[in-house]
Chain A
Amino acid sequence: MALAIHDFGKSYGGVPVFRHVELLLEEGGVYCLRAPSGAGKTTLLRILMGLERPDEGWVEGLKGRQVSAVFQEDRLCPALNAAENIRLANPGCSREALHRELLELLWEDSLAKPISTFSGGMRRRVSLLRALLSPGELLLFDEPFNGLDDQSRQAAVDYVKKKRNGRTLLFTTHHPEEAEALRARCVIWVESLKTWRLER
């Protein structure tokens, strides 16, 4: 089912962040939000995650569907290891399968350690794994490859391609090459109208 955003508007303290946003995200499509900071990329994702409400507008095709997210921050439980963090979001994931998946982006000797001992890049990969291995039908990723070096960025992009399984993906980034690598259609910011629209 496609995701249709109608006439979205959001303001903070009377200052509009965006308004009259009309977007149609087709089922199974990959979309990339590209804009300078302050255009409300994170806000738009947070509304779709159900964490905030738009001041105006409504959305079709979201009700009852589970969302899977990579937040701008990693949001992992520091005392738990990678597998425990992922199983928290997806208790149905079998241990053996999870172990295999973890090894796609992490090294064996890091798996028993708590997240608090992980570097920023490792945490990013765990939050990406958590989002992709969860049963959410709509993937909302806020700068998912942030903090990764070139090599692990490539591995992470490939992993997203492999594990998306035809699910709709909307993500934000500052790097055009990430959008290209994922063959994403870009949603661009029109500053004069303070709105988002799909690039033709």
Chain B
Amino acid sequence: MKHLAKQTGILLFWLAVWQVVAWLVGRPIFLVGPLETVQAFFRLLGQAAFWQSVVSSLGRIGTGFVLAFSLGLLCGAGAYAWPLFGEWIAPVVTMIRTIPVASFVILALIWTGADGLALVISFLVVFPMIYLHTLAGLQAADVQLLEMAEVFRIRFFPKVWHIYRPALAPYLISACKTALGMCWKSGVAAEVIGTPDHSIGEKLYMAKIFFSTDELFAWTAVVILLSGLFERLVLYVLERLMGEDSRKNRSKDAAGERKG
């Protein structure tokens, strides 16, 4: 409770600083305060075009993320199981990681047009991260337990679930935390360059053209909000899938301690 009060206090302090600076500047084109931003935000909420943009950007960036996550996981597992596959795919992964996102944006515009842009960019940003962390996580699996599994002839799925999954979980969750923020930032940046119809990027671009700084701020808040919600959702699902055992055992522990 005390912690919450402190955090709220700090937040209110910086919001106040922002508002005071906005008043001192006195030019809404350069800087709008939190009040104007909130006003613009609620104005947007009432527009059908707002929801259309939110849904379409969320759909594209989210689809890119899910595809990259699935394929990254699959390829990472493949590279672990067959090192030759890992060596074969390594140049592609290195290429995706080193080529600047801006170059990919232009290429993607040429290849897929503006519509598929955010999906492609979000995919390209997320895939290498998930791939590399999956591979590293699987390689971190306990060799002693793997030998034990071999001697006792433990079957494939129990082995994956009880030996590989606990090793992979921290790697995959940390990769997701980074990748989720990155895919939203680069996905929206790509939309600003490509301005596909009915997208958040297009709206940001329009805000720039019409000098409506309050809408620029409001859309920025929308992106932060969406990215935060998407991150929470993905991490929730992932942690449930990956960390179920540890949670179950923690509660059992606590019960045991109370009894004893």
Q: Which A positions have Cβ atoms within 8 angstroms of B? A: 49-51, 66-69, 71, 73, 75, 77, 79-81, 88-91, 109, 112-114, 116-117, 130, 134, 136
Set B145, B246, B252, B256: member contacting A75, Cβ < 8 A: B145
Given the contacts A71-B144, A80-B162, A109-B256, A51 and B151 also touching, CB distance less than 8 Å: yes
User: Which listed segment binds A: B39-47, B152-160, B210-218?
Assistant: B152-160
Shortest CB distance B144–A (Å)? 5
- B246: nearest residue on chain A (CB-CB)? A79
Contact (Cβ within 8 A) A75 B154: no
7 closest A-B pairs by CB: A89-B152, A75-B148, A114-B249, A79-B245, A69-B151, A75-B144, A49-B151
Contact (Cβ within 8 A) A89 B249: no
Contact (Cβ within 8 A) A114 B163: no
Q: In the complex, what residues of B have CB within 8 A of residue A109's CB?
A: 256, 259-260
Q: Is the interface of A mostly helix, strand, loop or mixed?
A: loop
B87: Cβ under 8 A from any A Cβ: no
- A111: nearest residue on chain B (CB-CB)? B256
Shortest CB distance B143–A (Å)? 10
Contact (Cβ within 8 A) B144 A114: no
Contact (Cβ within 8 A) A51 B256: no
The answer for the CA separation of A73 and B245 in the assembled complex, in Å, is 23
- B249: nearest residue on chain A (CB-CB)? A114
Shortest CB distance B252–A (Å)? 5
Given the contacts A50-B150, A77-B162, A77-B163, A112 and B144 also touching, CB distance less than 8 Å: no
Set B147, B153, B162: member contacting A51, Cβ < 8 A: B147
Contact (Cβ within 8 A) A77 B144: no
- B145: nearest residue on chain A (CB-CB)? A75
- B148-178: contact bitstring with A at CB < 8 Å (1 yes, 0 no)? 1011111100100011001000000000000
Shortest CB distance B167–A (Å)? 11
- A130: nearest residue on chain B (CB-CB)? B152
Shortest CB distance B150–A (Å)? 7
Given the contacts A51-B147, A79-B245, A88-B158, A113 and B152 also touching, CB distance less than 8 Å: no
Q: In the complex, what residues of B have CB within 8 A of residue A112's CB?
A: 252, 255-256
The answer for the CA separation of A85 and B200 in the assembled complex, in Å, is 51
The answer for the CA separation of A58 and B98 in the assembled complex, in Å, is 51
The answer for the CA separation of A67 and B163 in the assembled complex, in Å, is 20
B253: Cβ under 8 A from any A Cβ: yes
Contact (Cβ within 8 A) A134 B252: no
Contact (Cβ within 8 A) B253 A68: no
Set A73, A80, A81, A134: member contacting B152, Cβ < 8 A: A134
The answer for the CA separation of A79 and B259 in the assembled complex, in Å, is 20
Contact (Cβ within 8 A) B249 A79: yes
Contact (Cβ within 8 A) A113 B145: no
The answer for the CA separation of A79 and B145 in the assembled complex, in Å, is 13
Q: In the complex, what residues of B have CB within 8 A of residue A67's CB?
A: 151
Kindly identify, within residues 153 to 208 of chain B, every residue whose CB is under 8 Å from any CB belonging to chain A.
153-155, 158, 162-163, 166
Q: In the complex, what residues of A have CB within 8 A of residue B253's CB?
A: 113-114, 117
Could you show 7 A-B contacts with beta carbons less than 8 Å apart?
Answer: A50-B150, A51-B150, A77-B163, A79-B246, A88-B162, A109-B256, A112-B252
Shortest CB distance B255–A (Å)? 8
Contact (Cβ within 8 A) B144 A73: yes
Q: In the complex, what residues of A have CB within 8 A of residue B153's CB?
A: 66
Q: In the complex, what residues of A have CB within 8 A of residue B148's CB?
A: 69, 71, 75, 89
Q: In the complex, what residues of B have CB within 8 A of residue A68's CB?
A: 151-152
Q: In the complex, what residues of B have CB within 8 A of residue A116's CB?
A: 249
Q: In the complex, what residues of A have CB within 8 A of residue B256's CB?
A: 109, 112-113, 117
Q: In the complex, what residues of B have CB within 8 A of residue A71's CB?
A: 144, 147-148
- B126-145: contact bitstring with A at CB < 8 Å (1 yes, 0 no)? 00000000000000000011
